[in-house]
Amino acid sequence: MMNIVPAASEPLLRVRDLKVGFASAGGTLEAVRGIDLDVSRGGVLGIVGESGSGKSLSMLAALGLQARNAVVSGSVHFNNQQLVGRPRKEMRKLLGSRIGMIFQDPLSSLNPVMKIGDQIREVLFLHDRRLTGKGATGRVMDLLQLVAIPQPDRRINQYPHEFSGGMRQRVMIAMAIANDPELLVADEPTTALDVTVQAQIMRMLRDLKEKLGLALILITHDLGVVAGHADRVAVIYAGQVVEEAEVHELFANPRHPYTRGLIASIPKLAASGSKLYSIPGAPPRLGAYPEGCAFHPRCIHAQDICRTTAPPTIAFGRHRSACHFADRLPPWDRANEAERQGQNG
């Protein structure tokens, strides 16, 4: 079958109306409720939101990695190939080759009884049956050097427990890029790492993106990570994209109250001694979404329409916000936003 080469202007990954639900005694519980996203070739998309917002689940489902009891609908095109509903055998050919994935916890993602070198070789052999043992070992050494693991000739024969958290994360990155993917999905790549190692990992991902020409999706709750490394940012709340914009535009002029709350929650060095701000309330439970705008119980700008009617998505060029008052919110000022909503320690 002839492969169609997409036009340069077409996104590498196009997600439309992606929904993910789970069957229960009371019916299907929707966890992801109609997400639209584009990832450009060579671009970096940051996906942010609180824990349980659906950011990781949406990307896992887009790549066919959802739980077996999940119900997925919508459209996900990668290089003009539809992924939703694609047989698992065919998805395995894409995952690990054209699409790489860095999972949240490297310690649980790595096999504790296999040497690091054997685990990376396995990824190589799965996608290239012609590879020889000597060739695979050489490639493993190259990959370990590429992710800045010292003494690769020694490290290749060690087990995961002999590596630090940052070193295990580097091994996960090496496995994800082993077969020269076009798209790399990094799910909370800096979780549980100290700030110095976090900076090293993010710098490495940026350098690899430039060197290998990767498109990158960064899934994180850390707005500081996306501020320094993403081109565009999608903010997810209660299984929906509530705002999406170029990274500089999003931080300079957020047009959704949830995004404003997230930015106001970032600790400021100059505010030493003052109370840390956090968004009041808690995200809705799965299957217990409020009527109207899902964020309205926590929103100081909410009015009657927010409690009864789901907001439309309002576009301002390439900046879009799912808020009834996206074009009428007060001028953005981080300090004033925290003051408006009240310090809740």
- Per-residue pLDDT of 275-299, as tens digits, reads 778 899 999 998 899 999 999 999 9
Q: What is the residue whose two structure tokens read 């939101």?
A: 49
Contact residues for 134 (Cβ-Cβ < 8 A; gap 6+): none
pLDDT at 13 over 60: yes
Flag whether pLDDT at 1 surpasses 70. Answer: no
Q: Are 47 and 219 in contact (CB under 8 A)?
A: yes
Are the beta carbons of 120 and 142 closer than 8 angstroms? no
Q: Which residue has the higher pLDDT, 224 or 318?
A: 318
Question: What digits encode the pLDDT tens for the residues 67-105?
Answer: 888 999 999 999 999 999 899 889 988 999 999 999 888
C-beta of residue 152 within 8 angstroms of C-beta of residue 141: yes
Alpha carbon distance 316, 13 (integer Å): 22
Q: 192, 165 in Cβ contact below 8 A? A: yes
Please state, in angstroms and as integers, the Cα–Cα distance from residue 281 to each residue in 31, 116, 278, following that order.
19, 44, 9
The pLDDT score that the predictor gives to residue 270 is: 62
Binning pLDDT at 50, 70 and 90, where does residue 6 land? very low
Q: What is the mean pLDDT of the chain?
A: 90
3-state secondary structure of 321: strand
- Quick one: pLDDT at residue 108? 87
Residue 211's contacts (CB-CB under 8 Å, 6 or more residues apart) are none
**Average pLDDT of 114-137?**
92
Q: Are 102 and 183 in contact (CB under 8 A)?
A: no
pLDDT band at 130 (very low <50, low <70, confident <90, very high): confident
- Asked if residue 209 lies in contact with residue 39, where contact means CB atoms within 8 angstroms, the answer is no
DSSP state for residue 95 in the 8-state scheme: B
What is the structure's pLDDT at 344? 41
Residue type, 238: A
Q: Select from 2, 8, 12 the least CA-distant residue to 217.
A: 12
Element (H, E) at 201: helix 195-212
Taking a C-beta distance cutoff of 8 angstroms, is the pair 66, 21 a contact? no
Q: How many residues does the chain have?
A: 345
Min mean pLDDT across 22-36, 175-189, 236-250 is at: 22-36
Vertex 216, ends 211 and 219: CA angle to 5°? 140
